[in-house]
Amino acid sequence: GQNIDQPTEMTATEGAIVQINCTYQTSGFNGLFWYQQHAGEAPTFLSYNVLDGLEEKGRFSSFLSRSKGYSYLLLKELQMKDSASYLCAVTRNQAGTALIFGKGTTLSVSS
Amino acid sequence: DTGVSQNPRHKITKRGQNVTFRCDPISEHNRLYWYRQTLGQGPEFLTYFQNEAQLEKSRLLSDRFSAERPKGSFSTLEIQRTEQGDSAMYLCASSSGGQGAREQFFGPGTRLTVL
């Protein structure tokens, strides 16, 4: 079966750093995506990892370990606007078709 | 092109009625996806098109659901004999083709409420 786990909720304060973990067990793997979704809005792309290691993009970084079935999203210098749901998603095959999403982690940033 | 668009944005219907949603992808994207999302959950994959060919369907897509992409551009998702359990946000996404995974761009969704 397919299983993607992430914490349900996290809280943090402005200016802090937060790490959102994701573990996955899927039949096949061809990459892991992180999406951000504000309440009532569509998911928007944050990052993509297919090889082991860290990908950095501004305040956001994403890490992947394929051997451990593990990824994390690191958010630095948190801002109030970062309050959102963060979705971890895996694509299984080389064609890169369906995304299998976790349930998402709701991050609340307070001042 | 301003992105993926979906119509209508909201639909309220009575149980047993048929509904149809439309998705217009980013114009140069040949891949189109439908997902369903309920409150507190991540999106669940329903089906995938490459150009006009429907290449993958989830087991979630019962025989009451049908999707088309007749000319490889816009797509429609029809739900027949709606049930209360069909109430959800229906999301459409599109991506470019080629080898490997591609970033999927999501539309704003159609929120369906079945009374």
pLDDT tens, position by position, A42-83: 999 999 999 999 999 999 999 999 999 999 999 999 999 999
Is 70 exceeded by the pLDDT of residue B32? yes
Residue B63 clears pLDDT 60, i.e. is over it: yes
C-alpha to C-alpha distance for A83 and A91, rounded to whole angstroms:
26
Q: Using CB atoms, pick whichever of B4, B42, B108 lies closest to residue A103.
A: B42
- CA torsion angle B33 B39 B40 B41 (round to 10): -30
Picking from A97, A101, A105, A106 by the largest number of B CB atoms within 10 A of its own CB, the best residue to mutate is A97
What is the Cα–Cα distance from B89 to B43, expressed in whole angstroms?
9
pLDDT confidence of residue B71:
87
Range B67-94 average pLDDT: 96
The counts of H helices and E strands in chain A are 0, 11
Q: Stretch B55-73: mean pLDDT, rounded?
A: 90
Q: What is the dihedral of CA A21, A37, A106, A75, to 10 degrees?
A: 50
CB of B96 closer than 8 Å to CB of B28 = yes
> Which pLDDT does position B60 carry in this prediction?
79
Phi and psi angles of residue A70, each rounded to the nearest 5 degrees, phi first:
-140, 140
Query: Which residues in chain A are closer than 8 Å to B95, comparing Cβ atoms?
Result: 96
CB of A50 less than 8 A from some CB of B: yes
Question: Which residues on B lie below 8 Å from A50 (Cβ)?
Answer: 100-101
Quote the pLDDT of residue A94.
62
